[in-house]
């Protein structure tokens, strides 16, 4: 996969993770479940992709972590948005909508001519 494609994928995944955490802390499995449900199973995130992404977000200061107890009484690491991460989500999400709509508009074009 080309570096540019990888960067687009990573940026998309980062944004989805920030969104998953916007309602409160989740463990990694909870983040994956939310993304799968919210994207109607379009994105099935594997552990080998998720955890490097979560740790990347932690290094950037967009999420913080704390060990706790899950709903079914197991020890788990929970991720939550920092103030910086929440600001990042607020800034990036509208940009992503704009980019996505611009690309969709171009792909819907039915004529080759430039007006």
Partner 1 sequence: MTPSEEPRRGGWRRAFRLPPSRAQAERELDDEIAFHLAMREQKLRAGGLTDTGAYRRARERFGDVG
Residue ranges that bind partner 1, judged by CB under 8 A: 1, 6, 9, 27-29, 32, 44, 46-49, 51-52, 67, 70, 72, 74-77
Min separation Cβ 103 and partner 1, Å: 22
Tell me the C-alpha distance between 15 and 91, whole Å.
10
Nearer CB in complex with partner 1: 18/78 = 78
Min separation Cβ 75 and partner 1, Å: 7
Min separation Cβ 26 and partner 1, Å: 12
Nearer CB in complex with partner 1: 40/46 = 46
Nearer CB in complex with partner 1: 75/105 = 75
- Sign (positive/negative) of CA torsion 70, 9, 45, 99? positive
Min separation Cβ 21 and partner 1, Å: 16
């Amino acid at each position: 996969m080309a570096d540019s494609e990888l960067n687009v994928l990573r940026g998309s995944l980062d944004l989805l993770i920030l969104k998953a955490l916007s309602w409160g802390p989740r463990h990694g499995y909870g983040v994956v479940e939310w993304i799968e449900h919210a994207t109607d199973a379009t994105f099935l995130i594997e552990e080998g992709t998720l955890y490097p992404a979560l740790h990347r977000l932690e290094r950037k200061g967009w999420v913080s972590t704390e060990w706790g107890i899950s709903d079914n009484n197991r020890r788990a690491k929970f991720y939550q948005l920092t103030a910086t991460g929440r600001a990042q989500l607020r800034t990036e999400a509208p940009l992503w909508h704009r980019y996505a709509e611009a690309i969709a508009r171009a792909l819907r074009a039915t004529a080759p001519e430039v007006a």
